[in-house]
Structure 1
Amino acid sequence: MTEQDRPVIRVTVAAPVDEVWRALREKDKIRHWHGWDDPGLDAEIDLIYFQSFVEDEGARTLGVQEGDHIVLEPDGDGTRVTLTRAPRGVSPEWDAYYDDITEGWTTFLQQLRFFLERQPGAPRRTVFLAGTTAGAPPLLPELGLDGVAVQPAGSAFEARLAGQDVKGEVWFRSAHQFGVTVDAWGDGLLVVAYTEPTAEKPAGTAMALLSTYGLDEAAYAELAGRWGAWWGGRYPAPAGPIPGTEAPEA
């Protein structure tokens, strides 16, 4: 893989460079946007951001996770975040997860942007769902978001998501992912991903990550239970972990 072939992910955040840098280097801030609620989240954060890392605080550059490289640059009043993936082959145990890690970074950088722009400092609670797509309906039409997915970022939408009427705005769209804000989740964020079965992944993959804010225990439990039932009947879990949802051990 040449330098030009390495995937590059760019996100512009409406926050100063120093603020974005702190969100990348302070563990209490990283927990607000990286990954999802999981007993292993703190260990994952430590592994990725604070073991075998290379940082240049003055230049606002950070190398993590076997060669992924993050650069922060001023962009008007905001910050352009550029993440360039490590080449394949640097760490063979990670190569089987390469494309999944690229998709994970796409999700996480959008969650970083959401944290800084919409929910700075607010504690989140997440619902994470993953499953297979072989024989399953396409995810966006099933959620009633196929029409919303063609709208530009920032445009308003209304939909019925897994039995709940919601409204919000389009947050981002990439080759395999789509994100919207959801007012009913305390101004939360939904990120979904869907890939058809391939020779490498004959079961296909689907993912939904719900970030919620300010829901009480009953409301959160109802949301998690309703989405779990809706999801499980359409995108069943595989016999083993889906690549990308469980990182190799350090």
Structure 2
Amino acid sequence: MTDELTPKPYAVEIAVNAGRDRVWEAVTQPALLRRWFGWDYDGLDAEIRHIFVEEATLRAPERMGWADGSYLEVTGDDDHAVVRAVREGRHAGDPDRYDAIEEGWRSFLIQLRHLLQEKPQGVRRTVYLTGTATGRQALALAGGPTTRAGRRVAWLVDGDGHLVVIAGRQDLGCAEAGHMEIVISTYGLDGAAFDVVLKRWSERWTPLAGEARITTAGDPAP
């Protein structure tokens, strides 16, 4: 079996200024998962149910696991918690090689922390940008200083209060272009205000990225 086909072990964790029980609800209740997990598209609710309800097994208090041996756990107390996404095993080959699930957790846990700590009100709606660009271009597009979360993910809260998470399949400092994903999470916007955000990001992303695509849900969930 080649290194590329061997499941890569990982351990992604994030500290949250919220109580353990509140965090556990946010990672197990579909209505709350909808407020931070992934990005809007018309199949998001079905994806959440498949991953967190149909496929997940409760293995211990505040731990859920999946058939591949990976698990998500929450530890802490009434005021602070740590969320860990783990796939155990020995590293095969390059421990820094790209793994979509690992990097997905890195991005999504940032979105979870934002929800729990900033407590934004109203329906979450997202703009999901994909295409080919350099990490430097994507970081510059964010329009402000970003915080890195590993080599491939960075984030910031922009001047309008929207969370922007930037993720690449290679180091964001690399000068070569590669596949990039940007999730802009908004909360509490009416249709007109959201359309302004969508138009602004579309106009900036489309001329910059190769094979640029912009995705959002036709009908956001309540």
Structure 2 distance, partners of 1:238, 1:144, is: 19
* Farther-moved stretch of structure 1 (207-216 vs 69-78): 69-78
Check conservation: 2:18, 2:78, Cα contact below 8 A: no
Structure 2: runs of 5+ lacking an equivalent: 91-97, 214-222
Which residue number corresponds to residue 190 of structure 1? 164
Check conservation: 1:48, 1:65, Cα contact below 8 A: no
CA-to-aligned-CA distance 1:77-101 (integer Å, 9 cap, x gap):
200111112659xxxxxxxxx7112
How far did 1:51 drift?
Answer: 1.9
- Given candidates 181, 185, 188, the residue that maps to 1:211 is 185
CA-to-aligned-CA distance 1:36-87 (integer Å, 9 cap, x gap):
1111001110111112322145x21111363321121116820011111265
Q: One-letter code of the match for 1:99? A: D
Which residue number corresponds to residue 64 of structure 2? 62
The count of aligned residue pairs is 196
Structure 2 distance, partners of 1:25, 1:189, is: 22
Structure 2 distance, partners of 1:7, 1:204, is: 22
2:151 maps to 1:175: yes
Structure 1 distance, partners of 2:51, 2:14, is: 19
Q: One-letter code of the match for 1:60? A: E
- Given candidates 210, 216, 221, the residue that maps to 2:195 is 221
Q: One-letter code of the match for 2:84? A: T
- Larger RCO of the pair (alpha carbons < 8 Å, separation 6+): 2
Give 3-state SS (helix, strand or coil) of 2:82's partner.
strand
How far did 1:224 drift?
Answer: 0.5
Structure 2 distance, partners of 1:114, 1:104, is: 16
TM-score with structure 1 setting the length? 0.69
Residues 54, 123 of structure 1: alpha-carbon distance in 2 compared, 3 angstrom cutoff? same
Q: One-letter code of the match for 1:81? A: V
Give 3-state SS (helix, strand or coil) of 2:208's partner.
coil
Check conservation: 2:72, 2:83, Cα contact below 8 A: yes
Which residue number corresponds to residue 232 of structure 1? 206
Structure 1 distance, partners of 2:121, 2:189, is: 16
Q: What RMSD, in angstroms, separates the aligned Cα atoms of the two structures?
A: 2.8
